[in-house]
Amino acid sequence: MNYIEILPALRMLMSGEKVGTLVLNKEVKDCSSKLTLGKDVTLEELEQRFAAYVNENGGAPELVDIEGEGCFAVGEEVTEGRLAGKVAVVTGGAQGFGGGIVDYLAEEGAHVVIADLNVEKGNEKVEEVTGRIKGANKVFFVEANVGSPESVQNLIEQTVKLFGGLDLFISNAGILRAGGLDEMTPETFELMTKVNYEGYFLCSKYASAVMKVQNKFRSSHFTDIIQINSKSGLKGSNKNFTYAGGKFGGIGLTQSFALELMPFNIKVNSICPGNFFDGPLWADPENGLFVQYLKAGKVPGAKTIEDVKKYYESQVPAGRGCTPLDVMRAIYYVVEQEYETGQAIPVTGGQEMLK
């Protein structure tokens, strides 16, 4: 069975007015309202058989039994919040901005898949969030490398198997290695480009395939792909060209994907945060940006990490770094509106403004 086609289609067809998640129950054997399908069912056959069932029985089946897979039903879980019932994926979701985004998504009722290379921190994040949320929504971890097509495909398939579909994909995973032309090696340039630029392409490619199927069976259903970009995607960054170049390119992808996918009610936007000074990207004592920038001499006269931090804080009119809540408020806007796509939204405390 082609999971990334059949299950999203079933999710849309079997849901009522509010789209739910798809639940697999291998133990259900008997049900008066059941449609049985073969294990090699195609999307076209599913559409025909489902329509015939509704026509003959006056409504959708409560269960769909797929040979060799089990019985599928729409879950009855009740979640509350601004994102109640949405299925979301966050790459790089084990910590940093991604971890903060996961917290807010779960607190607002979304089902969340945390995708990350760090298995230990990913599982720890699942335990932490699951122990805190009060709703019926679920949080899972899937190991994923956004630079690998096979890994991203597996991430999407596992998400669909868990929940039946996908509503919100947040492409957050990224790496940063500072350095000017003299210091930057071709190998590091290639790695950063693969993760920060190609990774966004791969995630959008495979996530949108599921979203298109959902749109085919429920044209009113809106979905979102959101890239967590950077203020470095809005303005060049001295001795940080590899990162800035990838982020500039990411906005180009966002605008192009938005034009291609809006006919399927898939919105694509970038959010461009300022500096998350308290997160591991900046504050890690061994490889954080404060350490990297100090070594690279990006801040003239700086002798300590604290000197570097004070310098960057002084560049922000708001007088502080960005936080996950600042970013999340932009995500709420992007998801909740239905008339905006292809945008790069600054969240920089006034440091970078639209031109």
Catalytic residues, which ones? 243
Q: What is the DSSP string of 92-160?
A: TTTSHHHHHHHHHHHHTT-EEEEEES-HHHHHHHHHHHHTT--SS--EEEEE--TT-HHHHHHHHHHHH
| Helix/strand/coil for 267 | strand
One-letter amino acid at 140 equals F
Adjacency order of strands within the sheet including 70-74: 22-25, 70-74, 63-66, 34-37
In sequence order, which residues have a C-beta less than 8 Å from that of residue 315 and are 6 or more positions away? Answer: 351
Pairing between β-strand 223-228 and β-strand 63-66 as defined by DSSP bridges: unpaired
- CA distances 195 to 118, 180, 288, 317, Å, are 15, 19, 18, 31
On whether the CB atoms of residues 209 and 157 are closer than 8 A, the answer is no
Q: Phi then psi for 170, rounded to 5 degrees?
A: -110, 110
- Of all helices (H) and strands (E), which one includes residue 89? strand 87-91
Instruction: Extract the tokens encoding 272.
Output: 């461009």
Q: Phi then psi for 73, rounded to 5 degrees?
A: -145, 160
Q: How many CA atoms does the CB half-sphere of 262 hold within 13 Å?
A: 13
